[in-house]
């Protein structure tokens, strides 16, 4: 009798252990997450978020795409798989389902969209802490025959006029004061100083300039003490950014003719060269009011510049 009782205890223990082990084994769901490459070959996906829907109970896949998650509640039967760049997938787990094989699909990403806007003839620079008006090449192109002295017609800061009717030299005024109180620079190097300040504005052809920056008042002490009313900085076209060949021809009814040429050559990644040439002439004697005094001076000008 005692021996039979021991056999019953042993059988009962086996049944209890088997039921507990099967119950514990049924509380865990495992599996692997893959994606299909271009040859339809399965590739494991790591760090995929795996969680029960509507809960904060979850895990992530390892470097081989494997995961294991515990099922702790009766309502946990919808398993969600999510990862950046892939479409989320939700799987309904059956009672006897233990090992899963999940394949995620990549999202269909649209191509990037580039939004650009062309600059106007002039604008106030928002990148410079000092208030600076920039005249772009679009603004300079409105004056096809212009030189530096004729490039400020749309600027409220600078006034331009004729200082010498005999030679046609022009002057500028910034904030109401003569040009000698403003500093003119060529790519941040002092330019048109001394004797050049009277006629030098006519020697800078407009098609050579890429942009002009105008800063009011004493904008900086970096470039010297000459900017009492402000600074005018000229930017010429750069060899590495210019077109291989640019030709500009102009002639008007009065007989003024002008020709500008820019030619850039790139030798290698470190060496570039550029030639800029200008020729202009006015040979007509114009006297509209018949007072024996010409309305415009006769002139011829040649410029050449290599950088």
pLDDT of res. 33: 94
pLDDT at 214 over 90: no
Residue 4 has pLDDT above 80, yes or no: no
Plot region of 41 (φ>0 → left; ψ -120 to 50 → alpha; else → beta): beta
- The strand pairing partners of 52, in sequence order, are 79
Q: What are phi and psi for residue 139, nearest 5 degrees?
A: -70, -35
Whether 45 contacts 62, CB under 8 Å:
no
Q: How far apart are CA 24 and CA 22, in angstroms?
A: 5
Instruction: Give the mean model confidence (pLDDT) for residues 250-262.
Output: 88
More confident residue, 124 or 54: 54
- The residue written with tokens 């017609």 in the block is 153
pLDDT band at residue 22, thresholds of 50, 70 and 90?
very low
| Residue 217 pLDDT grade (very low, low, confident, very high; cuts 50, 70, 90) | low
Of residues 114 and 221, the one with the higher pLDDT is 114
- A 10 A CB-CB count for 254 gives 11
Tell me the DSSP string of 245-306: EEEEEEE-TT--EEEEEEEEEE-SSS-EEEEEEEEEEE-----TT-SSS-SS--EEEEEEEE
Q: 136, 282, 151: which is closest to 205 by C-alpha?
A: 151
What are the two backbone dihedrals, phi and then psi, of residue 150, each rounded to the nearest 5 degrees? -105, 10
**In 10 A of CB 81, how many CB atoms?**
23
Name the residue among 59, 83, 84, 80 with its Cα closest to residue 70. Answer: 59
Partners of residue 253 on adjacent β-strands: none
The mean-pLDDT minimum among 6-15, 70-79, 127-136, 237-246 falls in: 6-15
Q: Decide if domain 122-306 falls under CATH 2.170.130.10.
A: yes
Query: Distances in Å between the alpha carbon of 250 and those of 144, 146, 160, 257?
Result: 7, 10, 22, 6
Residue 67 pLDDT: 94
Domain extent listing, the chain: 29-104, 122-306
Q: Please, what is the end-to-end C-alpha distance for the chain in angstroms?
A: 115
According to DSSP, the β-strands at 158-162 and 58-60 are unpaired
For 173, other C-beta atoms within 10 Å of its C-beta total: 17
Integer angstrom CA distances of residue 72 from 25, 57, 172, 277: 12, 9, 85, 84
- pLDDT band at 220, cuts 50/70/90? low
CATH number of the structural domain 29-104 = 2.60.40.1120
pLDDT bucket at 24, cuts 50 / 70 / 90 = very low
Residue 163: pLDDT over 70 = no
Kindly state the average pLDDT of the residues 130-139.
74
Burial 1-34 (b: 16+ CB within 10 A, else e): eeeeeeeeeeeeeeeeeeeeeeeeeeeebebbbb
């Amino acid at each position: 009798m005692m021996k039979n009782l021991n056999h019953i205890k042993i059988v009962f223990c086996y049944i209890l252990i088997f039921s507990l082990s099967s119950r514990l084994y049924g509380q865990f769901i495992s599996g692997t997450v893959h994606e299909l490459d271009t040859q339809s070959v399965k590739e494991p996906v790591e760090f995929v978020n795996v969680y029960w829907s509507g809960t904060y109970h979850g895990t992530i896949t390892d470097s081989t795409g494997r995961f294991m998650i515990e099922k702790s509640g009766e309502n946990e039967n919808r398993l969600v798989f999510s990862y950046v760049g892939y479409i989320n997938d939700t799987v309904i787990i059956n009672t006897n389902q233990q090992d899963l094989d999940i394949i995620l699909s990549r999202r269909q990403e649209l191509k990037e969209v580039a939004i650009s806007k062309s600059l106007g003839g002039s604008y106030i620079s928002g990148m410079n802490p000092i208030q600076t008006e920039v005249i772009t090449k679009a603004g300079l192109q409105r004056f096809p025959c212009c030189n530096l002295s004729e490039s400020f017609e749309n600027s409220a800061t600078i006034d331009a006029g004729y200082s010498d009717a005999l030679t046609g030299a022009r002057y500028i005024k910034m904030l109401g004061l003569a040009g000698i109180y403003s500093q003119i620079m060529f790519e941040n190097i002092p330019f048109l100083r001394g004797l050049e300040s009277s006629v030098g504005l006519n020697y800078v052809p407009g098609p050579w300039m890429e942009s002009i920056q105008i800063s009011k008042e004493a904008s900086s002490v970096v470039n010297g003490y000459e900017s009492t009313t402000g600074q005018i900085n000229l930017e010429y076209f750069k060899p590495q950014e210019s077109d291989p060949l640019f030709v500009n021809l102009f002639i008007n009814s009065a007989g003024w003719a002008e020709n500008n040429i820019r030619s850039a050559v790139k030798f290698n990644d470190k060496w570039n060269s550029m030639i800029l040439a200008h020729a202009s002439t006015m040979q007509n004697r114009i006297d509209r009011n018949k007072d024996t005094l010409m309305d415009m001076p006769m002139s011829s000008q040649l410029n050449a510049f290599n950088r």
